[in-house]
Amino acid sequence: MKLPIRPGYEPAEARQASDLPSGDRWQFEPKWDGFRCLAFKDGERIDLRSKSGKPLDRYFPEVVAALLALPLRAGVFDGELVIFDKDRSDFDQLLERIHPAQSRVQTLSREHPARFIVFDLLADSPDSDLFERPLAKRRARLEAVAKKFPKGGLIELSPATRDRAQAQRWLRTHGARDGVVAKLLDEPYRSGQRDSMVKIKRRRTADCVVGGFRYASSSKLVGSLLLGLYDRAGKLNHVGFMSGIRDAERRALTARLEKLIQPPGFTGNAPGGPSRWST
């Protein structure tokens, strides 16, 4: 068998938007808080690839097994790898998977299995070319194939709607959803492009303390500010960073920050642990 597209194929991307688009040309889907993944099934071979094209199958053996068990000889799925803690996604558990020890990966796959939430179908046989068809037709084929997904299994069909009001409700709902993606129904799958999709992220704001800073790579100028929040016990916990610093401001800001260096810094959770920004 030979699939029409192979690992290394770039997924379609979405451009940022501040609000949901209007009109009857759009399909709305939840934006999941996980790892973007293209899954290739070619007989007994499974390839899971990240958005950047890196292989993921060794880190998610339970998803590989679920795809192998599908009654489908060949196929290419676009979706998101998500680990749930009750009804919320656990992004830190995904980061834990990217571990060099296979024994550790196997343990985590049993204790916290990932799910592959599928939102597009690019091929369902060795000679299909669904990626050239409009989204409306790809979605219909995906829904037909999704009837073969075992109920309660690790492969799920992502919901979709053409009802803008429903998409607005998804934006207001917390949990595993990180926002909404809007896709043009009459567009083909545009590999590596941002022409036919927009993403609207749910905005969450907080007033943070600047608890420290990092120097830029191979530089003695500030690269990012380390952000913290105080808890009820009065401890300052690291919660993220801010790196939108203009080059013209870095030298003066570095001098100002260096004068402020003194203990105790972060007294709770410190920078350097697993986070959605670490690799």
Is residue 46 within 8 A of residue 68, CB to CB? The reply is: yes
**Identity of the amino acid at 248:** A
Q: What phi and psi, each to the nearest 5 degrees, are found at residue 271?
A: -60, 155
Question: CA quadruple 250, 251, 252, 257: dihedral positive or negative?
Answer: positive
For 249-272, give one letter per residue: b (16+ CB within 10 A) or e: ebeebbeeeeeeeeeeebbbbebe
Which residue's entry shows tokens 């009857």?
24
Kindly name the residue from 2, 31, 41, 147 that is annotated as catalytic.
31
CA distances for 139 relative to 51, 110, 160, 163, angstroms: 21, 31, 9, 16
Whether 147 is a known active-site residue: answer: no
Identify which of 265, 250, 249, 260 has the alpha carbon closest to the alpha carbon of residue 219: 250
Alpha-helix runs per DSSP H in 38-126: 61-69, 91-97, 102-111
Show which residues are catalytic. Answer: 31
